[in-house]
Structure 1
Amino acid sequence: MTEAPRHSVSVTGVVFNDDGQVLAIERDDDGRWVPPGGVLELHEDPRDGVVREVFEETGVKVRPGRLVGIYKNMPLGVVSMAIACTVESGEPQPSDEAKVARWISVDEARQRMPEARLVRVLDALRDDGPFIRCHDGTNLV
Structure 2
Amino acid sequence: MSNSTGDGPSTPLHSVSVAGAVIDESGRFLVIRRADNGRWELPGGVLELAETPEDGVCREVWEETGIHVEVDRLTGVYKNTTRGVVALVFRCKPSGGTERPSPESTEVAWLTPEEVSERMGEVYAVRLLDALDPYTPYVRSHDGHHLTPTR
Take 2:2 and 2:83, find their aligned partners in 1: how far apart are those partners? 18
State whether structure 2 residue 107 is matched by structure 1 residue 91: no
- Rg (Cα) greater in structure: 2
Which stretches in structure 1 are left out of the alignment for 5+ residues?
none
Alignment-mate amino acid for residue 126 of structure 1 = D
Structure 1 residue runs of 4+, over 3 Å off?
A: 1-5
Give the aligned partner of residue 79 of structure 1: 86
Superposition RMSD on alpha carbons, in Å? 1.1
Secondary structure class of the residue paired with 1:42: coil
1:17 pairs with 2:24: yes
1:23-58 alpha-carbon deviations (Å, 9 max, x no partner): 000000011101100000012100000000000000
TM-score, scaled relative to structure 1: 0.96
Matched, 1:36 2:43: yes
Aligned to 1:140: 147
1:121 aligns with 128
Unaligned runs of 5+ in 2: 4-9
Residue-pair matches, total: 141
In structure 1, distance between residues paired with 2:142 and 2:52: 24
For normalisation by structure 2, the TM-score amounts to 0.90
The 3-state SS of whatever aligns with 1:76 is coil
Identity %: 48
